[in-house]
């Protein structure tokens, strides 16, 4: 498939938490087309990481001992690695940096990486977690200062509150398991962001639209990623949407309702149909107020054969940020371009043929036969509404053994 692709995407994980996320990516995700790099001042952290390319920052001064929460040490250590950072970014056309604000290495080091990247005009996205509230005020203050330091040079800064990760986990989840889960979600979020840049063959999401909603603005981001395969049994778009809304970094449909801007990306194999794509994006949009800016993208990729993935990034600006935007009119603008339906694939439309936004709806996840498609254009085939699960449409009684 011909992609209007960016050739080399580098993902740098910095500090212990960033290195863990990169390690998770290397182990569990199909990341062969990404250039993964682990950077830390802590030798133990790097030794436990499976990524091939590693930078032990300023080993001469820190001796691989980490920065112990000292941001100035983090800053100095990375400043001494500017040359190595510049070398590793030499052919990079797109950079993603991930780490946790609150410690020394990442909080102090990320602005240095950012200045190296901006000196070279490399577009960059920073995906940084904010401390858990149980870590206390001082960590939060360090993190807030890190945000202020990074904003002037960062193209895109996405702050992901760690608290969100726990809001959907059982209170008795073991800490190790909870962190692993969090790292997996972050890895998926990073891959979802790379999707925006990797191919731009369909619809409108690209770096500049992404940048227009986040450039030098302080905002909190929530991520939802839902994947479903045809073999999962029910309507795969329905399932992917449900899973997207339930994913830990999203925090439920309310996050979409309260967002100032939402980016929706749909990825599927060559078997993804325009009708599926249109319907899923319409339903996802039905949870978003009409005044929210929505950027929609869709990709097809052979790696997603038989699979649909729906990703949402909900962005809520800090108080005062939305109104101080350099592009206030964009908050009202909607960039959804509806796909052109090729001959022979016309949709059977219900009443809402104009494709207008639907009213914002509550999410009926259970016990309603059409599930989240209840407010959407019916998809009628041979007189049957295909949004109703097959077993209900065919009136099959499932024996639950009761
Ligand atoms: N999601 C997630 N966040 C983590 C994890 N470990 C730490 N954090 C968060 O990341 C912040 C920074 O911690 P580290 O990554 O250990 O800090 P560092 O950048 O290595 O800095 P120093 O150790 O001081 O050199 C913490 O305050 C936590 O909020 C993790 O495993 N998963
Ligand atoms: Mg550390």
* Atom 11 (ligand 1) nearest CA: 100
Mean pLDDT for the chain? 77
Q: Which residues line ligand 1 (CB under 6 A)?
A: 15-17, 20, 41, 66-69, 74, 99-100, 102-106, 129, 131-132, 135, 139, 162, 179, 182-183
Mean pLDDT value of segment 212-229 = 80
What phi and psi values does residue 236 have, to the nearest 5 degrees? -70, -30
Query: Is residue 153 assigned to a domain?
Result: yes
In whole angstroms, how far apart are CA 46 and each of 42, 54, 77, 247, 330? 7, 7, 15, 29, 42
Place of tokens 């905002």: 219
pLDDT at 98: 97
* Atom 9 (ligand 1) nearest CA: 100
What phi and psi values does residue 306 have, to the nearest 5 degrees? 75, 0
pLDDT at 92: 94
Mean pLDDT value of segment 273-293 = 84
Mean pLDDT value of segment 246-254 = 78
* Atom 1 (ligand 1) nearest CA: 182
Q: Which of 245, 301, 309, 305 is nearest to 277 (CA)?
A: 309
What percentage of the chain carries pLDDT values higher than 90?
A: 29
Q: Residue 334: exposed, middle, or buried by beta-carbon count in 10 A (0-12, 13-18, 19+)?
A: middle
pLDDT at 361: 36
Confidence bin at 342 (pLDDT 50/70/90): very low
> CA 188 to CA 184: how far, in whole Å?
6
Tokens found for residue 306: 């038989």
Query: Is residue 372 assigned to a domain?
Result: yes
* Atom 20 (ligand 1) nearest CA: 15
Mean pLDDT value of segment 279-296 = 85
SS3 label, residue 119 = helix
Q: For residues 150 and 238, state if they share a domain.
A: no
Query: Is residue 211 assigned to a domain?
Result: no
Domain boundary among 199, 230, 257: 199
Q: Which of 363, 243, 249, 362 is nearest to 314 (CA)?
A: 249
Expressed in angstroms and rounded, the spacing between residue 99 Cα and the centre of ligand 1 is: 7
Q: Report the number of distinct structural domains present in the chain.
A: 2
Place of tokens 């500017």: 82
Residue 88, pLDDT > 50, answer: yes
Confidence bin at 2 (pLDDT 50/70/90): very low
pLDDT at 185: 80
pLDDT at 3: 42
pLDDT at 210: 74
Q: For residues 141 and 251, state if they share a domain.
A: no
Query: Is residue 2 assigned to a domain?
Result: no
In whole angstroms, how far apart are CA 292 and each of 285, 328, 377? 10, 12, 21
Q: What is the CATH number of the domain that holds 38?
A: 3.40.50.1440
Confidence bin at 294 (pLDDT 50/70/90): confident
Which residues lie across from 103 on neighbouring strands? Answer: 101
137's enclosing H/E stretch is helix 137-150
Q: What is the CATH number of the domain that holds 234?
A: 3.30.1330.20
Between 105-109, 174-178, 201-205, 263-267, the lowest mean confidence (pLDDT) is in 201-205
* For the CA of 42, the nearest atom of ligand 1: 25
Q: Kindly report the length of the chain.
A: 402
Q: Among 34-48, 60-74, 175-189, 353-367, which range has the highest average pLDDT?
A: 34-48
* For the CA of 69, the nearest atom of ligand 1: 24
Q: For residues 137 and 237, state if they share a domain.
A: no
Q: For residues 250 and 302, state if they share a domain.
A: yes
pLDDT at 396: 56
Helical pair 105-119 and 15-28, crossing angle rounded to 10 deg = 70
* Atom 5 (ligand 1) nearest CA: 17
> CA 266 to CA 201: how far, in whole Å?
12
Q: For residues 228 and 161, state if they share a domain.
A: no
Which residues lie across from 68 on neighbouring strands? Answer: none
Query: Is residue 154 assigned to a domain?
Result: yes
Domain boundary among 167, 199, 231: 199
Q: 259 is in which domain, residue-wise?
A: 221-339+354-393
pLDDT at 279: 81
Tokens found for residue 159: 């702050």
Q: For residues 227 and 111, state if they share a domain.
A: no
**pTM more than 0.85:** no
CA angle 295, 148, 113 (to 5 degrees): 80
Ligand number nearest CA of 13 is 1
Contacts for 2 with CB less than 8 Å, ≥ 6 apart: 201
Expressed in angstroms and rounded, the spacing between residue 164 Cα and the centre of ligand 2 is: 22
Domain boundary among 199, 231, 250: 199
Q: Among 69-73, 194-198, 361-365, which range has the highest average pLDDT?
A: 69-73
Mutate to test the pocket of ligand 1, among 100, 138, 174 (most ligand atoms within 8 A of CB): 100
What percentage of the chain carries pLDDT values higher than 70?
A: 73
Query: Is residue 402 assigned to a domain?
Result: no
Q: For residues 188 and 238, state if they share a domain.
A: no
Q: For residues 241 and 318, state if they share a domain.
A: yes
Query: Is residue 213 assigned to a domain?
Result: no
Mean pLDDT value of segment 124-135 = 91
* For the CA of 67, the nearest atom of ligand 1: 25
Mean pLDDT value of segment 123-134 = 90
CB-based contact 239:228 (threshold 8 Å): yes
Query: Is residue 214 assigned to a domain?
Result: no
* For the CA of 41, the nearest atom of ligand 1: 25
Q: For residues 147 and 251, state if they share a domain.
A: no
Higher local confidence (pLDDT), 95 or 351: 95
Tokens found for residue 288: 């978003």
* For the CA of 162, the nearest atom of ligand 1: 1
Tokens found for residue 27: 């182990």
Q: For residues 171 and 127, state if they share a domain.
A: yes
Q: For residues 272 and 358, state if they share a domain.
A: yes
* Atom 28 (ligand 1) nearest CA: 131
Confidence bin at 269 (pLDDT 50/70/90): confident
192's enclosing H/E stretch is helix 175-198
Q: For residues 157 and 295, state if they share a domain.
A: no
* For the CA of 45, the nearest atom of ligand 1: 20
Between 55-64, 257-266, 372-381, the lowest mean confidence (pLDDT) is in 372-381
């Amino acid at each position: 498939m011909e992609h209007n692709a960016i050739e080399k995407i580098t993902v740098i994980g910095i500090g212990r938490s960033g290195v863990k996320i990169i390690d998770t990516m290397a182990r569990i995700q199909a990341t062969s087309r990404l250039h993964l790099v682990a950077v830390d001042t802590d030798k133990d952290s790097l030794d436990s990481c499976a990524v091939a390319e590693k930078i032990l920052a300023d080993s001469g001064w820190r001796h691989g001992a980490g920065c112990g929460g000292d941001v100035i040490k983090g800053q100095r250590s990375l400043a001494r690695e500017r040359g190595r950072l510049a070398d590793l970014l030499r052919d990079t056309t797109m950079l993603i940096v991930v780490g946790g604000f609150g410690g020394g290495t990442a909080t102090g080091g990320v602005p240095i990486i950012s200045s190296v990247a901006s000196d070279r005009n490399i577009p960059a996205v920073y995906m940084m977690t904010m401390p858990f509230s149980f870590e206390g005020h001082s960590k939060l203050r360090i993190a807030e200062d890190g945000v202020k330091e990074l904003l002037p040079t960062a193209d895109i800064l996405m702050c992901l509150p760690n608290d969100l990760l726990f809001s959907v986990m059982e209170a008795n989840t073991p800490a190790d398991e909870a962190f692993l889960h969090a790292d997996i979600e972050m890895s998926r979020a990073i891959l979802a962001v790379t999707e925006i840049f990797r191919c731009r063959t369909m619809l409108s999401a690209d770096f500049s639209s992404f940048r227009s909603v986040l450039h030098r603005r302080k905002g909190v981001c929530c991520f939802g990623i839902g994947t479903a395969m045809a073999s999962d049994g029910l309507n795969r778009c329905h399932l992917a949407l449900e899973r997207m809304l339930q994913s830990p970094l999203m925090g439920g449909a309310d996050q979409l309702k309260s967002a100032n801007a939402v980016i929706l990306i749909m990825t599927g194999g060559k078997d993804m149909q325009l009708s599926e794509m249109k319907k899923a994006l319409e339903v996802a949009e039905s949870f978003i107020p009409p005044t929210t800016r929505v950027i929609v993208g869709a990709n097809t990729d052979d790696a997603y054969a038989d699979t649909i993935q729906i990703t949402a990034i909900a962005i809520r600006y800090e108080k005062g940020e939305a109104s101080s935007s350099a592009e206030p009119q964009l908050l009202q603008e909607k960039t959804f371009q509806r796909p052109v339906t090729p001959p022979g694939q016309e949709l059977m439309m219900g009443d809402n043929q104009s494709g207008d936004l639907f009213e914002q709806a509550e999410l009926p996840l259970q016990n309603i036969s059409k599930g989240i498609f209840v407010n959407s254009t019916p998809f009628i085939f041979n007189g049957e509404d295909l949004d109703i699960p097959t077993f209900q449409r065919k009136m099959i009684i499932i024996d639950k053994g009761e």
